[in-house]
Amino acid sequence: MEPSKVLVSPGHKYFEFNLKFLFAVGLWPHKEWCRNKLELYKMYETNLHMLSVVYLIISSIGTYNIRGNMEILMSNLDKSLIGYVFVFKIFAFEIKRKELRSLVNDIMQSGDKITKKCEDRMTSLLMFVMILVTMIVSAFSMSALYDGEMTVEAWMPFDPLQSKKHLLMAAQILAVTFMPCALRGVGLQGIVCSVIMYFCEQLQDVQMKIRHLHYSPHRDEEVRQEFKDIVKKHVRLIR
């Protein structure tokens, strides 16, 4: 059997990288931890939430302050909306996290099999998107600094255009508040893609089993049981 066709259990390593990534960005606490560890992680998670809220506030104020210049306003909105989308995804994830955790646990304990190729593809995709987002944000920031401009028009407690030092400080504040949003958004995309890819693999598996289901009188009971298992799996996937 080809390495790409080797079947592995989703409970083995399929979600491992995704869940570690979500854990690192403060979105996936370990339930088996003691109370003290959970409280410390909650503080870490709350601090990252606060950075996201700070980005929303300062970028919104900055956008409002330039409302008179339509060209700059639209350009700023174009860049800021990416951060807004990431933040709203995070809040939506927080609301649905228990349900997603239950779904992931069900998949890991289901005994279903996926191809090794699918497992490797998921890890590569998440790493690629993370590196790509980081490079794009860095490129925009460096270009803005080179031109003596703000990456995104945002309110600061000082004049960022007063000097290079102030501009660099403003860029650092924007980076510290935006990058957690971006990395968390990438993590959410990764876990959602993993679940979708799992379902696609399993629906293909159901389809293949139906195609290879051949009835014969001497295999009546065996075929009935195989068909019953296929129906049960399909109902579970749909549910």
What pTM, to 2 d.p., does this model score? 0.80
| Residue 104 confidence (pLDDT) | 86
| Residue 1 confidence (pLDDT) | 46
The pLDDT tens digits along the chain (239 residues) read 444 566 766 766 778 888 888 999 989 988 888 888 899 999 999 999 999 889 989 988 888 888 877 777 787 777 778 888 888 888 889 888 988 888 888 888 887 888 777 777 878 888 888 888 888 888 888 888 888 888 888 888 888 888 888 888 988 898 889 888 888 988 898 888 888 888 888 888 888 888 877 777 777 777 778 778 777 877 887 87
Domain boundaries, the chain: 3-200
| Residue 3 confidence (pLDDT) | 47
DSSP string, the chain: --GGG-EE-IIIIITHHHHHHHHHTTS---TTS-HHHHHHHHHHHHHHHHHHHHHHHHHHHHHHHTTT-HHHHHHHHHHHHHHHHHHHHHHHHHHHHHHHHHHHHHHHTS---EEHHHHHHHHHHHHHHHHHHHHHHHHHHHHHHHHT--SS----SS-TTS-HHHHHHHHHHHHHHHHHHHHHHHHHHHHHHHHHHHHHHHHHHHHHHHHT----GGGHHHHHHHHHHHHHHHHHHH-
| Residue 48 confidence (pLDDT) | 92
| Residue 12 confidence (pLDDT) | 63
